[in-house]
Amino acid sequence: MSDNKYDKSMFTGDATVVWSHLHKPDVKFGSPNHSLTVQLDDDLSEMLTSKMKDLGGTKINGMGENKEGVKTVKFRNVLKAKEGIQTFPCVDADTKPTKALPFGGDTCRVKISPCLLGRDQSVSFYLEGVQIVQKNDLEGFSTGFEKTDGFRDEDISNEPPVATNIPDEDLEDLPF
């Protein structure tokens, strides 16, 4: 059995997200993994195909087409799940870490690691990083609400909520 051959990491251009499973590892099929599926436009297809040929590969893993006929490519990462990381880390347009995750219709750039698989000479492109370039404005998917003063996502503290001023006698009846 031949060994796998990894090449230098690459960065995609702006890509439209079709599906993401970055909020927690997907455990349904095989090893737990995080994944990101993006539309496969001509530029991305050319970049991946060129790298496949450079590595001596015969096909690219993860390519497909959705029900609407849109060509897609899926990038996966099992390493973060193995490390126990629940949510795949992403960065914003300024390369600062963000709690936001890309979803369908969002635009992102993806850092991928190409690997020629020795077992069948196919090439996989493994997910290494995600930069969110633009969040979908959800036009056409409106909730009907208008913007108002009040809570914003950035108002959430990193500290877990702490119960204060609870008398000890109230804690005695808790079942846990």
Report domain extents, the chain.
5-136
Convert the pLDDT of each residue in 70-127 to its tens digit. 999 999 999 999 999 999 999 999 999 999 999 999 999 999 999 999 999 999 999 9
Between 44-53, 146-155, 159-168, the lowest mean confidence (pLDDT) is in 159-168
**DSSP characters over 28-70:** SSSS-EEEEEEE--HHHHHHHHHHHHHHT-SEETTEEE-TT--
Backbone angles phi, psi at 79, to 5 degrees: -65, -45
Look at the block and give the residue holding tokens 């970055």: 22
pLDDT value at residue 145: 72
Convert the pLDDT of each residue in 29-75 to its tens digit. 889 999 999 999 999 999 999 999 999 999 999 999 989 999 999 99
Which amino acid is it at 131? Answer: Q
pLDDT value at residue 140: 46
Report the predicted TM-score, pTM, of the whole model to 2 decimal places.
Answer: 0.76
Backbone angles phi, psi at 46, to 5 degrees: -65, -45
Q: Which residues pair with 64 in a beta bridge?
A: 72
Determine contact, residues 134/106, Cβ cutoff 8 Å.
yes
**CATH architecture of residue range(s) 5-136:** Beta Barrel (2.40)
Buried b (16+ CB within 10 A) or exposed e, 13-52: eebbbbebbbeebbeeeeeebbbbbbebbeebeebbeebb
